[in-house]
Chain A
Amino acid sequence: MTATVSSASATAHWRDRFHRWLSEVFDEPASVRGAAVLRIVLGPCVIWHLRPFLADALDGITYHDRFQQPWWAWYPNAPEGLYVALLWIGVAAAVLMTVGWWSRIATGAAFAVVAYNLFLSQTHFHHNRAFLVILLAGVALCDNGRAMSLDALRRPPPDDRALVWPIWLLRFEAAAVYFASGFSKLIDPDWVGGRVLHDRSVRYQNEVRDAIGDTLAGPVLEVVTARAFHWVLSPAAVATELFIAFGLWFRRTRLVAVWVAVAFHVGIEVTSHVQVFSVIGIGALALWAVPSTRDRTLVTPSRWVGWLDWMARFDITVAPGASWCMVDRDGTVLEGREARQFVRTRLPATFLFSRFWRYR
């Protein structure tokens, strides 16, 4: 009887928590600054992504002139002139996204153009483009112009809060990308056993020689083409992706996961050019910032914090000659060097080089 009551109470407790979480996600407004940062990052990425299609169009070549594999027979094919016009509309929308003028409409337009182009032919598909389409859709669903935009300058909103369920959806999508990639490699013996990466390293060693020269390439290649090296590297790569996928969800591991994710994306970009994936992957990390702003107070003699506090983590008072003093969300007071170090862990530009593990 006691066990039954206890079990029912636990169920009710979890049900209450779930309903509170649902309400927090879907009904309560919170800061959309993370989506605004991502919007600014996505703008140039859209242009970067459309660039080869535009370059071909300037040479008079469109998808009509080469092998294409339609996704669906019913999907409308734009005539050549309209297709090229759509590409330019995508570029214009990307510029407007970045500066935040008609932010939401511009993001929606950029999404429409990139998605339309992707679904014209299966040959247009790349994983990074799929991720770009998903991110654009999510940011367009969010009222992303409430912060860091010309829209907010022209008609200042009372605050930067809006509904954040699209941000939660994008968090799921971002984590799904890392998980799907990591898990598929985990269950593939060739991948996790190092065979895939080893073979690629051996096959592309000439590119390493071309990139860094014979003198440096010799010792580097001796390591990276060794079979044993990939017995370690491949499981480590898989573990990295899975750690990012799960680590981002928990407050205690989030900062480490963000740091690992940045290093991971930089590493991928250096070794294998993956179009816009590295940049949008790093940009999407802004979505994981707690969606509340100016909820830590900071007294500082330095103006640079204000310039670098893109995520609005601090309510800053600049007092020339004062010593650093920071009051955290839970009332913890840090002063002097401790306060300075903490602040560095919360600024996107200095985070990578700070001792973030001390201030989780």
Chain B
Amino acid sequence: MATTADAVAESTAPQAGPNRPLWRRRGARWFAAAVVVAQLALVANGYRDPHNYFAFQPFNESSTYAVELVRVLDDGQRVPVPNGRWEGYDWNELIDWGPLRSPWHQRHAFSGIDAVVDFLDHALDWMADNTPGDTETRYWEATVTYYRNARGPHVTVIRSHDREVGDP
């Protein structure tokens, strides 16, 4: 006859081996196999992905970069953006993210130069979408001068998407 203590012990004992339904035993194995395969795939993908997400390649470079940021107006005029300030906006306040802070100074490229250039590209688009008070700028352009592991300089130019110019 089962006692209360037996019932408690049974309820707290690990459901192992033949006590577990087959689908749970098989499910655990398939789940673990899927995790292993996914992790290996992510590690391999890190050699292609500039951000190497979940590929665990920290401190991969010692690269530096600096950005010359200009606003390109509707008439094609190129207006420099000294210290990231224009029309009441401030790059550092808008972006507010350490790796892209004050990029007009020489900066360490967090997670590698390719990752920084990719983030800068997205940051320019984000600025284009989030500065409604700026009614003049057609698009932003960033000239990135970088040293990959102290070799360089290399230069690449990126720009935001076009935006509507006119009244806010």
Q: Which residues of chain A are within 8 angstroms of B40 by Cβ–Cβ distance?
A: 176
Cα–Cα, bound, A191→B62 (Å): 9
In the complex the two chains form, is B97's CB within 8 Å of A66's CB?
yes
The answer to the question of B80 belonging to the interface, with a C-beta cut-off of 8 Å to chain A, is no
In the complex the two chains form, is A181's CB within 8 Å of B28's CB?
no
Cα–Cα, bound, A164→B100 (Å): 43
Minimum C-beta distance from B126 to chain A (A): 5
In the complex the two chains form, is B46's CB within 8 Å of A180's CB?
yes
In the complex the two chains form, is B53's CB within 8 Å of A177's CB?
no
Partner-contacting stretch, out of B7-15, B70-78, B134-142, B159-167? B7-15
In the complex the two chains form, is A29's CB within 8 Å of B14's CB?
yes
Partner-contacting stretch, out of A123-131, A302-310, A340-348? A123-131
In residues 1-30 of chain B, which contact A (Cβ within 8 Å)?
A: 9, 12-17, 20, 25, 28-29
The answer to the question of A203 belonging to the interface, with a C-beta cut-off of 8 Å to chain B, is yes
Q: A27-B25, A158-B12 are in contact. Are A177 and B150 (CB under 8 A)?
A: no
Q: A65-B96, A69-B119, A125-B51 are in contact. Are A184 and B13 (CB under 8 A)?
A: no
Output the residue of B35, B64, B95 with the most chain A CB within 10 A.
Answer: B35
Q: Mark A159-183, 1 if CB is under 8 A from B, else 0.
A: 0011101001100110011011100
Cα–Cα, bound, A200→B110 (Å): 12
Q: A67-B126, A272-B59 are in contact. Are A26 and B46 (CB under 8 A)?
A: no
The answer to the question of A68 belonging to the interface, with a C-beta cut-off of 8 Å to chain B, is yes
Cα–Cα, bound, A23→B16 (Å): 10
The answer to the question of A273 belonging to the interface, with a C-beta cut-off of 8 Å to chain B, is no
Minimum C-beta distance from A222 to chain B (A): 20
In the complex the two chains form, is B20's CB within 8 Å of A165's CB?
no
In the complex the two chains form, is A26's CB within 8 Å of B126's CB?
no
Cα–Cα, bound, A67→B46 (Å): 24
* Chain B residue nearest in CB terms to A237: B59
8 Å CB contact of B60 from A65, A66, A165, A184: A184
In the complex the two chains form, is B29's CB within 8 Å of A69's CB?
no
8 Å CB contact of A69 from B13, B20, B43, B122: B122
The answer to the question of A86 belonging to the interface, with a C-beta cut-off of 8 Å to chain B, is no
Q: Which residues of chain A are within 8 angstroms of B47 by Cβ–Cβ distance?
A: 184
* Chain B residue nearest in CB terms to A69: B122
Q: Which residues of chain A are within 8 angstroms of B35 by Cβ–Cβ distance?
A: 169, 172-173
Minimum C-beta distance from A132 to chain B (A): 12
Minimum C-beta distance from B2 to chain A (A): 15
The answer to the question of B57 belonging to the interface, with a C-beta cut-off of 8 Å to chain A, is yes
Q: Which residues of chain B are within 8 angstroms of A169 by Cβ–Cβ distance?
A: 32, 35-36
The answer to the question of B123 belonging to the interface, with a C-beta cut-off of 8 Å to chain A, is yes
In the complex the two chains form, is A27's CB within 8 Å of B46's CB?
no
Q: Which residues of chain A are within 8 angstroms of B53 by Cβ–Cβ distance?
A: 122, 125, 130
The answer to the question of B86 belonging to the interface, with a C-beta cut-off of 8 Å to chain A, is no
Q: A172-B39, A190-B149 are in contact. Are A67 and B60 (CB under 8 A)?
A: no
In the complex the two chains form, is B56's CB within 8 Å of A196's CB?
no
Q: Which residues of chain B are within 8 angstroms of A78 by Cβ–Cβ distance?
A: none
Q: Which residues of chain B are within 8 angstroms of A143 by Cβ–Cβ distance?
A: 14
Minimum C-beta distance from B38 to chain A (A): 11
Q: A188-B60, A200-B62 are in contact. Are A122 and B46 (CB under 8 A)?
A: no
Minimum C-beta distance from B66 to chain A (A): 14
Q: Which residues of chain A are within 8 angstroms of B97 by Cβ–Cβ distance?
A: 66-67, 123
Q: Which residues of chain A are within 8 angstroms of B62 by Cβ–Cβ distance?
A: 195-197, 199-200, 203
Minimum C-beta distance from A43 to chain B (A): 23
Cα–Cα, bound, A67→B15 (Å): 48
8 Å CB contact of B16 from A29, A125, A155, A199: A29
In the complex the two chains form, is A27's CB within 8 Å of B17's CB?
yes
Q: A22-B29, A125-B53 are in contact. List 6 more A-B contacts (CB 8 A).
A: A67-B123, A122-B119, A127-B56, A172-B35, A196-B60, A203-B108
Give chain A's interface residues, CB within 8 Å of chain B: 22-23, 26-29, 61, 65-69, 122-123, 125, 127, 130-131, 143, 155, 157-158, 161-163, 165, 168-169, 172-173, 176-177, 179-181, 184-185, 188, 190-191, 195-197, 199-200, 203, 272, 274, 277
Give chain B's interface residues, CB within 8 Å of chain A: 9, 12-17, 20, 25, 28-29, 32, 35-36, 39-40, 43, 46-47, 51-62, 64, 94-97, 99-100, 108, 119, 122-123, 126-127, 149-150
Q: List 25 A-B contacts (CB under 8 A).
A: A26-B29, A27-B17, A27-B20, A27-B25, A29-B16, A67-B95, A67-B96, A69-B119, A123-B99, A125-B51, A130-B54, A158-B12, A158-B13, A165-B32, A169-B32, A169-B35, A172-B35, A176-B43, A180-B57, A184-B46, A184-B55, A195-B62, A196-B62, A197-B62, A200-B59
